[in-house]
């Protein structure tokens, strides 16, 4: 019978099948950079506290820097017979440097080590996502600026509602994504506590200084309680929730594009560079990329649900069940970055058929609400105005007329207050769009304010990213930090 060894932990008698089943190494190799950063900071603190001699600390640091350099060059090979990336790094360092490497894990457990690695990973992912969200919001605002003269119907219950502009539509999409910016900023605020230094569960008797490590890694505070710290994955839940939500928003946008480029709507045209043909029907051009964006939102929701179920019912402290956080958490960043990058690539390659959208706006009575409000301005109670306009719309439909074609003689049979001036005020969709001057409405001035606000929020998101400690910058400072 072959016995597996876990080298960094001093060997063992694990069956190979057991090691393979319990190992997370294939997944958490993705945490290598975070693990090296955390080890460099921990080692620096141990040396400054006099717990590890400076000569040994210098030797180990050089070894960690070499691993970083090799991983950056794509030449690093770690042992694959370890439980996780943390043990694989320690095993490789031990192979290279010998017994002094044993000092590195002083006052540290894999429990607080992985808690740190995951926080560093989520923090880095949040920075990248925020930059992508800022770029998408800026793009949507620019597109909104360009489409302010494009008239089209809005929809409630997927029925034509009121006339809007393309500028207003794109502002609505961008507004969704600004809330996602806030969600990821909340994630950053929640994870901004250093977990390292609490050990396996109860801290250490050694004279460590967690504030030294906290400062080196760019956290603003330390976690409060070790038992809570090692079992805490709330920051991971926050991140997977924020990701699920941004992909739900992307899915809603994608659904509009899918519908609007169909023959039934005909509002949008897809560039041939982003549309797909059918393997059987030669006339088809399909919005596959938007359907896949919509489909990926399901994976994001699944990752959130999986993590919630993993955490449900766990007792206090660390439990190995938490290893199951790797798949949903490590996939999530890649998933959201891929979708946001794809949206910014394909959205400039869709165009409105303005004749078709205008025809849809003017085909029926989408300006009916505006006409009712014209009556309200003359002193008619809204509900009475609503009933009169509704009766006029039905009368027009029975005669095969558009609302804009109703004459004063025809309309006054229903309500004598439908004068020539009242009907003229609501005769066109353009007038109805321009007339909604309230904040957040379709009026040109309101839309301009919305677009400017969106651009400012995107700029603020970019500014926030500059304050996030990034892995490359941390490595640059830690490799030169005083020991």
Q: What is the DSSP letter of 323?
A: G
Topology, domain 7-106: Fumarase C; Chain B, domain 1 (1.10.275)
CB pairs under 8 A, 24+ apart, for 44-48?
Answer: 44/212, 44/213, 44/216, 44/478, 44/481, 44/482, 44/483, 45/208, 45/209, 45/210, 45/212, 45/213, 45/216, 46/103, 46/104, 46/106, 46/107, 46/208, 47/483, 48/209, 48/212, 48/482, 48/483
Q: What is the pLDDT of residue 150?
A: 97
Topology, domain 110-359+461-474: Fumarase C; Chain A, domain 2 (1.20.200)
Enter the tokens of residue 382.
Answer: 């809204």
Enter the tokens of residue 352.
Answer: 């409105």
Q: What is the pLDDT of residue 227?
A: 97
The CATH code of domain 368-427 reads 1.10.40.30
From the candidates 26, 189, 262, 278, which is the catalytic residue?
278
Q: What is the pLDDT of residues 214-244, one digit of tens each?
A: 999 999 999 999 999 999 999 999 999 999 9
Enter the tokens of residue 373.
Answer: 């409000």
User: Which residues in the chain show pLDDT less than 70?
Assistant: 1-12
Torsion region of 447: left, alpha or beta (phi above 0 gives left; psi -120 to 50 gives alpha): alpha
Q: What is the pLDDT of residue 16?
A: 83
* 278 among known catalytic residues: yes
Q: What is the pLDDT of residue 3?
A: 37
Name every residue whose Cβ is closer than 8 Å to that of residue 158 and which is 6 or more positions away in sequence. none
Q: What is the pLDDT of residue 7?
A: 53
For residues 10 and 89, the answer to whether their CB atoms sit within 8 Å is no
Residue with tokens 């739900």: 248
Q: What is the pLDDT of residue 4?
A: 42
Mode of pairing for the β-strands spanning 159-165 and 221-222: unpaired
Residue among 421, 419, 352, 359 at smallest CA distance from 392: 419
Neighbours of 169 (CB within 10 A): 24
* Alpha carbons 262 and 285: distance in angstroms, whole number: 10
Q: The whole model's pTM is what? A: 0.94
From the candidates 157, 273, 279, 482, which is the catalytic residue?
157
Q: Where are the chain's structural domains?
A: 7-106, 110-359+461-474, 368-427
- Angle in degrees, CA 282, 285, 287, rounded to 5: 150
Phi and psi angles of residue 151, each rounded to the nearest 5 degrees, phi first: -95, 135
Q: What is the pLDDT of residue 343?
A: 97
Please classify residue 57 by burial: count the beta carbons closer than 10 Å to its beta carbon, then call 0-12 exposed, 13-18 middle and 19+ buried: buried
Q: What is the pLDDT of residue 83?
A: 85
Packing angle, helices 471-478 and 210-217, rounded to 10: 120
Q: What is the pLDDT of residue 310?
A: 95
* 388 among known catalytic residues: no
């Amino acid at each position: 019978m072959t016995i597996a060894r876990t080298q960094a932990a001093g060997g063992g008698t694990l069956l190979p099948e057991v090691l393979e089943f319990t190992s997370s190494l294939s997944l958490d190799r993705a945490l290598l950079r975070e693990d090296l950063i955390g080890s460099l900071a921990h080692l620096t603190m141990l040396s400054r506290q006099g717990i590890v001699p400076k000569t040994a600390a210098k030797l180990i640091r050089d070894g960690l820097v070499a691993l970083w350099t090799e991983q950056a060059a794509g030449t690093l090979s770690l042992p694959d017979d370890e439980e996780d990336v943390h043990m694989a790094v320690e095993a490789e360092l031990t192979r290279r440097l010998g017994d002094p490497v044993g000092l590195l894990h002083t006052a540290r457990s894999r429990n607080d080590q992985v808690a740190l690695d995951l926080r560093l990973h989520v923090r880095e992912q949040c920075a990248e996502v925020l930059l992508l969200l800022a770029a998408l919001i800026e793009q949507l605002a620019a597109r909104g600026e360009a489409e302010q003269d494009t008239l089209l119907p809005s929809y409630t219950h997927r029925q034509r509602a009121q006339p809007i502009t393309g500028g207003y539509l794109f502002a609505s999409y961008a507004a969704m994504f600004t809330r996602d910016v806030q969600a990821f900023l909340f994630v950053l605020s929640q994870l901004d506590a250093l977990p390292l230094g609490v050990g396996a569960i109860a801290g250490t008797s050694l004279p460590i200084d967690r504030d030294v490590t906290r400062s080196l890694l760019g956290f603003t505070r330390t976690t409060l309680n070790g038992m809570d710290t090692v079992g805490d994955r709330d920051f991971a839940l926050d991140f997977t929730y924020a990701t699920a939500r941004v992909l739900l928003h992307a899915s809603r946008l994608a659904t509009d594009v899918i519908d609007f480029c169909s023959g039934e709507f005909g509002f949008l045209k897809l560039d041939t560079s982003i549309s797909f043909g059918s393997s059987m029907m030669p006339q088809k051009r399909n919005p596959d990329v938007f359907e896949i964006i919509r489909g990926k939102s399901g994976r994001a929701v699944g990752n959130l649900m999986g993590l919630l179920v993993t955490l449900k019912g766990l007792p206090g402290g660390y439990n190995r069940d938490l290893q199951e956080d790797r798949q949903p958490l490590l996939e999530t960043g890649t998933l959201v970055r891929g979708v946001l990058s794809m949206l910014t690539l394909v959205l400039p390659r869709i165009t409105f058929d303005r004749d078709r959208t205008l025809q849809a706006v003017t085909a029926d009575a989408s300006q009916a609400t505006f006409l009712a409000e014209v009556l309200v301005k003359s002193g008619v109670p809204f509900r009475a105005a609503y009933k009169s306009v509704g009766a006029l719309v039905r009368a027009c439909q029975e005669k095969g007329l558009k609302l804009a074609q109703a004459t004063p003689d025809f309309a006054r049979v229903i309500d004598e207050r439908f004068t020539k001036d009242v009907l003229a005020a609501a005769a066109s969709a353009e007038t109805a769009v321009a007339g909604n001057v309230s904040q957040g409405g379709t009026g040109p001035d309101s839309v301009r304010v919305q677009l400017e606000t969106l651009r400012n929020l995107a700029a603020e998101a970019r500014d926030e990213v500059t304050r996030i400690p990034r892995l490359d910058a941390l490595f640059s400072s830690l490799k030169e930090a005083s020991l």
